[in-house]
Amino acid sequence: MTVWELPRKLRLAVEDGDANADLREWVTRLPDIVAALAGRWSLEVGSPFQPGGSTSWVAPASTAAGARVVLKVGWRHDEALHEAEGLRTWDGNGAVRLLDARTSGRTSALLLEACAPATSLSELPELEQDVVVAGLLSRLWIAPAEEHEFRALQSMCDRWADEFAARQDAVSGGGTKLDPGVVRAGVALFRELPRTAENHVLLCTDLHAGNVLAATREPWLAIDPKPYVGDPTYDVLQHMLNCTERLAADPYRFARRMADLLDLDARRLCQWLFARCVIESLDDPELRPAIAALTP
């Protein structure tokens, strides 16, 4: 790589006035970090994929033997923990294969198989996306080892509920706040549902069409997981939240379709969907029609 380049989303993240100071400092060291990793793994590294992510630098690369790979260099933070461990556990079954990994200080580096042609699933119609996402999830939902380091979904839900409650209290009111009874019901469900799950599996938690790429080894592979262990029903939500028009138009019908594709309890999926929409409502007012339709 002859010219150093930042992906647009990462550049915007560090230019934000509220950017984390540790992230900014880490980005200043990225050229040296990437160069050291290229030397360690004997890589010829290209320019980063655009627009990229807000906490990572990801680029195509080739090994000394000429194999095409991907180098992902991430800033270590709570949301991105255990990506390497998750990919290692799945071992290429429905997800991109991890070739090697290294963690040092605030840096988490992954050497990944390359997806070619790397077409995003988001380029397909949503009804086709549903089928692909369901097929991948059904393979990724495996039981982790008895002694594992993955966090419980319960811990994430409790943290998000606490953060939502604090932000909700800070909102001045007017048309920005949901009915207090709806808020209480949504937050209560978001805390309760992880505790009442009958099945606990390894979850992606962030599987949506933008995180699914076409490949040569398999038709589609999941990338960028944020692994937790818990209720598989939760794992459908991010895909549904990204299909905004269908979610607003008829969330029950959408939920029944995904539940049928994955042999899940449609009622429980609707509960999860209602709770997650409430939690996301401060940042996404477009979820209000779905909240109104799903309110118990």
Helix residue ranges, H only, 141-235:
153-170, 180-195
**∠ CA 226-148-73, rounded to 5°:** 40
Please report, for residues 115, 235, 261, 262, 265, the alpha-carbon distance to residue 59 in angstroms, rounded to integers and kept in the order given.
12, 27, 34, 33, 40
Q: Give the SS3 label for residue 230.
A: strand
Question: Which tokens in the block code for residue 240?
Answer: 């549904």
Q: What are phi and psi of 75, to 5 degrees?
A: -80, 120
Question: Which tokens in the block code for residue 166?
Answer: 């604090």
Place of tokens 């709770």: 275
Q: Which is the catalytic residue, given 130, 206, 231, 235?
A: 206
224 tagged catalytic: no
Active site residues: 206
